[in-house]
Amino acid sequence: MKSRPKAAEPSSPLSRLPFERMQRLHQLIQKGRYPNAPKVAREFEVSSKSIHRDLEFMRDRLGLPIGYDQDRHGYYYTEEVGAFPTIQVTEGELLAMVVAEKALQQYRGTNFEKPLMTAFKKMSASLSDTVSVNIADFEQTISFSTRAEPILNLEIFDALGKAAANRQQLELIYRKPGQRETEVRVIDPYHLANINGEWYLFAYDHLRNDIRTFVPARIKAFKLTGKRFPRPQKFSLEKRLRNSFGVHSAQGDFRVVIRFAEVVADYIREKKWHHSQELIELEDGGVELRLRLSSLQEIERWILGWGGNAVVVEPRELADMVRRSAGNILKNQG
C-alpha cells in the first residue's frame, strides 16, 4: 500500500489569502462547528501548520477568545464574539499605502520587487471590502514615472545584497567608466544604496586600501573569496555623503554660489537640493543658491544641465570647469 504523500503548499488563490482562511475559521467557530486544523487545511489545500499559524494570529494579534475542546477535537470561542475584527485605517493612511505601492515600481526588476509586492498584497487582503474599493479608486489617480531606469544584472545585484548582509568578501571583475579594460578588485561590501534613482555599492577596496563607490552595472563577474569581514562601527553612509552633491565624497571644502535666471528660478525654489543650501532672492526675479560641498564634480554636471540660465559666482575653480566643459560642447557641435 502506497503511503499518502505529505500535503504541500500549492499556489492556489485561496492558499495565498490567510485573511480569507481566518474569516472561514471564524464562521465555523461561531456556528459551533468546532473546526480543527486538518479539516480546514484540506478545504483550503494548505498544510495544517498554516491553519495553526492562522489560529495563533487570530488569538494573539486579533484578541479573539479561542479555546480547544479535547472531546470535540475542535476550536470554539470561550466567550461571545460579534463580527470578525478588521484593520482600521484612516483615509490618509490608505492614501499613503497606495503611494507606497506605486513607489515600489522603482524596484521593479530587483530582488526587492517580489517580497515588497507580496507584503503589500497581504496588507490589502486584510482590509475590509469598503477599504479595498477605495484603494482601487485611489490607484486610478496616482502614478510614478521614471524616465531612465538603471539596467541591472539581477544575479549580481542579488549577490551584492546578500554579501553585504552576511559580511562576505567578494572578488569582482570591474570596469571603470570610460575604460574598455576590466580589473580585478577584492572588496568588503558595506552598503548597497539607491541614490537619486541610481544604485551604488559602498565597499572597502583592498587595492586602494580605502572605501570606494562601485556601480553594480559595471560589475562584469563576481565570486566569493570564502573570507568574512567585520563591518566597521564607524562607517556611516549619512556622514560620508553629508557634504556630497551625489555620491562623490572627496575630502574638500567648497563654498559654492550659483545664480539662476528668473526663467528657471521657480524650479530651484521648489526643491531642497542639499542640506546646506541657502536661497537668496534677487531683484531681477532670479535666485541665488549657496551650498557647502566636499566635491565639485557632480555639481559641475548639474550646472551644465541648466544651460545659460545658471552662472557660477564662486568658487573660481568651478567657474573654470564649467567654462571648459561648455567650450568642449560648442567645439564638438562643430
What's the pLDDT tens digit per position in 55-73? 988 888 788 999 999 999 9
Q: What is the pTM of this model?
A: 0.60
Question: In the chain, what are the domains?
Answer: 14-77 (1.10.10), 91-139 (no CATH), 154-240 (2.30.30), 254-333 (3.30.70)
Taking the C-alpha atoms of residue 295 and residue 305, their distance in angstroms, rounded to an integer, is: 18
pLDDT tens profile 121-162: 666 666 555 555 555 555 566 666 666 666 778 788 888 989
Asked whether residue 16 carries a pLDDT value surpassing 90, the answer given is: no
Asked whether residue 105 carries a pLDDT value surpassing 80, the answer given is: no
pLDDT value of residue 140: 64
* φ and ψ of 225, to 5 deg: -85, -15
277 DSSP β-pair partners: none
Residues of the chain with pLDDT > 90, as a percent, come to 47
Higher pLDDT, 292 or 134: 292
Across 73-89, b (16+ Cβ under 10 Å) vs e yields ebbbeeeeeeebeeeeb
Q: Return the ∠ at Cα 277 (arms to 276 and 281), rounded to 5°.
A: 155
- For 3, how many CA atoms within 13 A lie in the half-sphere containing its CB? 3
pLDDT value of residue 266: 97
Taking the C-alpha atoms of residue 22 and residue 66, their distance in angstroms, rounded to an integer, is: 12
The CA-atom distances, in angstroms, between 11 and each of 8, 15, 17, 48, 248 are 10, 6, 11, 16, 46
* Mean pLDDT across the chain: 82
Q: Of the candidates 184, 153, 186, which has an alpha carbon nearest to the alpha carbon of residue 168?
A: 186
Q: Of the candidates 38, 80, 84, 79, which has an alpha carbon nearest to the alpha carbon of residue 57?
A: 84
pLDDT value of residue 251: 72
DSSP string, 145-167: --SSPPP--HHHHHHHHHHHHHT
Q: Is 240 exposed, middle or buried (CB count within 10 Å of its CB: 0-12, 13-18, 19+)?
A: middle
**Which of 14-23, 236-245, 309-318 comes out lowest in average pLDDT?**
14-23
Q: Return the ∠ at Cα 128 (arms to 125 and 132), rounded to 5°.
A: 65
From the centroid of its chain, how far is CA 200? 13
Asked whether residue 109 carries a pLDDT value surpassing 80, the answer given is: no
**Which of 17-26, 166-175, 205-214 comes out lowest in average pLDDT?**
17-26
